[in-house]
A and B are shown apart, each in its own frame.
Chain A
Amino acid sequence: MTPIHAPSRRRFLQGLAAGTIAGTAFLAAARRAAAKKRGGTLTVGMPNDFDTFDPHKLSFANFTLQQNLYDTLTRYNASLKPLPGLAERWAVAPDGQSVTLTLRKGVKFHSGKDLMAADVVKNFEKAADKERGWNMLPAVANVAEVTAPDAGTVVIKFKKVSPEVFDLLQAMGIMEPAAMDSLKNRGVGTGPFKFVEWVPGDHTTLERNPAYWGQGTPWADRVIFKVFGDSDAMVAALQSGICDLVIAVPPKDTARLAREFNMVRGTPGALTYEIRVNGTRPPFDKKEARHALHFAIDRQGVVNNVLFGVSEPTVLPFSRNSPAYDRSVAAKYPFDLKRAKELLEKAGVAGGKAECLTLPQFPELPAISQVLKADLAKIGFTLDIAVVDSTLYYKRLFGGDFQICPSFSGNTQKYPTRVALNSIYRPANNPVWGNEVPKAYLDALNEANGTIDAAKQKAAFAKFNAAILDEAWVISIAYRQSVFALAKHVDGFAYTVDDMAVLENVSIEK
């Protein structure tokens, strides 16, 4: 076994910040420890309330809990190099089929209990439970066994070679096993802040964890996550000084707010906007009809008129730092309505119509639909936009009960096959294909999942990309870029590769 990384000190935030383009801007504003102020309350505005305090349910709303109430086993810097978290050291077996973690010593849960290897095992057991595993359930599908040879060591054995082991460790938030039954209302972790109260639909209060293992962190005494029904109200609250920091600033407000606030842009492509196409239903059951959408969507128009420039176009889901990122393919799919029309004619559906399913919670999605509708209208194809509430939307989306549907996918910036955690990229039980997922895609996915050899991986990624583009049941459009807005007195903010806010180093300088 080869130890990969054994740092003596925790340089995570600095490494993370220095590695990103946007990060350098706010690192300049970050003060050295000696100059930082202690104490105070940080009020963070969010558009949605937490739907649970379960770190294994990684809905967008819950992102801010992951690194603040909880810790993960390992972390990533911006170039996906693993950094220590609750696991201080690790060793991956040469055959790639197991990993041994050495836990950090002296870590305590907020309940006062020491973090033991057995607790980590129980977290893996929960993740593997169909009822309670949530987003971690597919992530641990390749895990055969997790054991604790002693109180400070965890051994994870995989069913087959696991190229994405750090994606798993980095996503795995660790909670106190005794609190696993009350996650609906509260959470107990090891993070820099501990739970105080949750007033549903209004706010959640966390306070400084004095026993935290970070060096001198956290700086703030209290963090209040304030929920706003819509992002306009959230932005207004930032302007009136109610909030010190807001997450998920709408793209349209980014330029305007930059005059008064420090704007921090997340990783381009932590999420990717796309159009999901049902390839089993007319009119898009023919490949040519799906290809037509590749040419009919005005990607630059979406970037300019829907995302107000806070984005960049892409034809593949993968983020720029993903190993599967391929700059060259963009040129093959220009905005070309003439070509789109030819392809529709070839598929025999020119002059046809389709329903476009969308929901109002994310204003970009109806807006993308409008762009597509206006352009398809020019070539004689009718798109009816059906705006439904979120319950119905998700029911139809996950049930495959749609023709086309704008949406977005995550896990686009890590090991490329992770993208298959999004329902639309699932290799089985796929909402569109069921268990009849296109073979080229399935083969490429298995090939990429089956090797830790870099050259073989590269070849597999190329096939993977080709299959996604050719089958065209997901038409990637543009990256979603998270934007955080910080009042000038907020210092030391950072975010993870998933654009989760990291608040332990934040101090309030006023």
Chain B
Amino acid sequence: MLPFSLVRGRDLAGLAACCILVGLALIALMAPWISPQDPLAQNRTDQFLSPSLRHLFGTDEFGRDILSRVIHGARISLVTGAVAVLIGATVGVPLGLLGGFAGGLTDAAIMRVLDFLLAVPAILLAMVIIAILGPGSFNAMLAVGAVSVPSFARLTRASTLTLKEREFVVATRALGVGPAYLMFRTILLNAATPIVVQIAVTGAVAMLLEAALSFLGLGTQPPAPSWGSMLNAGRSFLYQAPWYGLFPGIVITLSVLSLNALADALQTVVDRSGAGRAAGPERTA
């Protein structure tokens, strides 16, 4: 289990990251009960109040409580990250398995498509996808998920290629097991560790990318309180209300920092156990 490995390895950064992420997840889960106010309630006379005891993070242009919005925003950001990773993994992993396992023309075709997808910077690709689907929270998740497919596919393919030649796989195959069983049970189970690391890395990238898309006005739409769209709005009021762009920025940075640290910690654990290396996805935003 990961936490034990972290304690054993005295990986303080990894432990701290774990704590922060668990904390964020708890906040997201309990948002309606712990947020001091309704994140959508407008008290128009309370415009741009600076942080105080009544409004710890201050208020925005409609007099909404920024702390409450940041708390509710945790839900959107974490859900975006999770859904994007889920899409990326469920599409990318089978693709990589198939390519690595089948080889030949199938592999070449898959690889060429991936090459092309990787040749377009992720944010541009996501922008084009959103241009097709239209802006919005769910479409942003789809776009981010689609963009993270290539890194999952590549990683899985690389692991599959190595594992395919390993003795235990060759032995299983010699037993006359079907290719599906071989792919999904024998190989996938053994390629799981780097994929788990990849999930943490992709989660960080996905959160950043969603924030960037919302920042460009293509992701979550107001009044829904996503961190990215709050940054986008806060950017317009830097002078009147510097705290508006400050707090969402801090939480985004903190979450991404934690996910990165977690990925590093996982990698250390994985390295110690001797499995493959996760492919760092390209920076997106």
Contacts and interface: CB of A to CB of B under 8 A. Distances in A.
> Do A and B interact?
yes
Contact of B236 (A252, A371, A385, A387): A252
Contacts of B281: none
A252 B237 contact: yes
A373 B64 CA distance: 14
B44 A304 contact: yes
B40 interface: yes
A27 B236 CA distance: 31
Contact of B134 (A252, A374, A388): A388
Interface in A329-375: 360, 363, 366-367, 370-371, 373-375
Given A232-B236, A298-B44, A370 B217 contact: no
A366 B222 contact: yes
A256 B63 contact: no
Contacts of A385: 221-223
A360 B62 contact: no
Given A305-B62, A370-B62, A256 B240 contact: yes
Contacts of A373: 223
Interface string B16-55: 0000000000000000000000001110100100000000
Contacts, number: 55
Given A371-B42, A374-B62, A250 B223 contact: no
Contact of B41 (A250, A304, A371, A374): A374
Interface residues of B, number: 21
A375 B135 CA distance: 25
Contacts of A387: 135-136, 217, 221-222
B235 interface: yes
B4 interface: no
A167 B197 CA distance: 69
A481 B89 CA distance: 51
Contacts of B134: 388, 392
Contacts of A367: 61
B259 to A, nearest CB: 29
Contacts of B239: 253, 256
A304 B135 CA distance: 28
A385 B220 CA distance: 11
A301 interface: yes
Contacts of A304: 44, 47
A183 interface: no
B236 A377 contact: no
Contacts of B236: 232, 250, 252, 363
Contact of B47 (A232, A305, A366, A389): A305
B63 A305 contact: yes
A360 B215 CA distance: 12
A28 to B, nearest CB: 27
Interface of A: 232, 250, 252-253, 256, 298, 301, 304-306, 360, 363, 366-367, 370-371, 373-375, 377, 385, 387-389, 392
* Interchain residue pairs A-B with the least CB separation, the first 8: A374-B42, A360-B217, A301-B44, A387-B221, A305-B44, A370-B223, A256-B239, A305-B62
11 contacts: A298-B44, A304-B44, A305-B47, A305-B63, A370-B62, A371-B42, A374-B41, A375-B42, A377-B40, A385-B221, A387-B135
